[in-house]
Structure 1
Amino acid sequence: MAGLNEDAQWIVLMGFVVSFSLFFLAMVLNQSTVVGQTTAESVLDFPKNDIRDLRTVIIQSVYQENVDDSVINNDIVSIALARKGAIVNYSSYTQGSYTYINIHYDNGVTVYNETWASP
């Protein structure tokens, strides 16, 4: 820059400042897009309907009569693992006039635990 006059040096310097500023803004916008995308994906990944369906099937199976509970438990666990890739465990017990069901759902992203009680 020794051969340029002062006006030309000022123009080149401002060009560097503007290009660096644009590069910095592009990086900031790129990162904010990634953060927004992952946040939206985590909301979409919440398996609300899968948990509802599973919960309904478990509650119905607990109240069925003349059925082996271990067979139904194994079927629910294996189907949830094969179709949804989720680990499902549940247990039920009766205390007084209430029936309690403990439901655990884990698909690697979402962990859901519930204790359901019915009179």
Structure 2
Amino acid sequence: MAGLRDNTSGQLIILSGFVLCISLVTLAVLVNQAMITGFHSSNAVLDFPKQQIRDITSQTRESCESITKLALNQSNNQSIEYNYNSFFNQYKQQMSILYAAHGEEVTLSLSKMNLTSIGSNSSAGGTVWVNITYNNGMTYYASEPEIIEVGP
């Protein structure tokens, strides 16, 4: 038994085995972390709702054009700005309800309006400044103001 205690030639082999195992485990953890980081960074780009934001801005631009035409063709005795504001308030309530059904918050507000009546053919031109905010719980987007040209 005394001969086994004095024999230390196997200790170097065991020590090198432990070092090799620890380095392989460390390398496996680093490679795994690199893969997870690549996966999450590529998904972050896909999670950004750019198409929804584009849809909101393009729909708002088209609706502002239509609202301008509707505001001019009203037979009531109100001004163009009053008619425009009432139609725009209806539009923003509808957009708010539509996106709330999907769990998203869309807020539209009219910040400035420069509409002028052109001639006697019931047409108007000018600019409308609309504040658009979008929030889906993960992404907050604000376009303040979105300048929309309306007119003939």
TM-score by length of 1: 0.84
Query: What residue identity is the alignment partner of 1:25?
Result: L
Q: Structure 2: give runs of 5+ residues left out of the alignment.
A: 72-85, 116-125
1:51-99 C-alpha deviation (Å, 9 max, x unpaired): 111111122222322473222211111111213x221111123147431
Cα distance in 2, alignment partners of residues 60 and 94 from structure 1? 16
| Structure 2 counterpart of 1:86, from 99, 104, 107 | 104
SS of the residue corresponding to residue 130 of structure 2 reads strand
What is the 5 A alignment of 1:14-93? 14-63=16-65, 64=67, 65-66=70-71, 68-83=87-102, 85-92=103-110, 93=112
* 1:117 aligns to 2:142 (yes or no): no
How much does 1:24 deviate?
1.0
Are residue 99 (structure 1) and residue 131 (structure 2) matched?
Answer: no
Q: Which runs of 5+ in 1 are unaligned?
A: none
What residue is the counterpart of 2:76 in the other structure? none
Q: Distance in 2 between matches of 1:50 and 1:41?
A: 17
CA change 1:79–1:4 in 2 (3 A) is farther
Tell me, in whole angstroms, the C-alpha distance in 2 between the residues paired with 1:26 and 1:79.
48
Name the aligned partner's letter for residue 131 of structure 2: N
CA contact (8 A) 2:61 2:148 kept: no
**For residues 19 and 4 of structure 1, what CA distance do their matches in structure 2 show?**
26
Q: Which amino acid aligns with 1:50?
A: Q
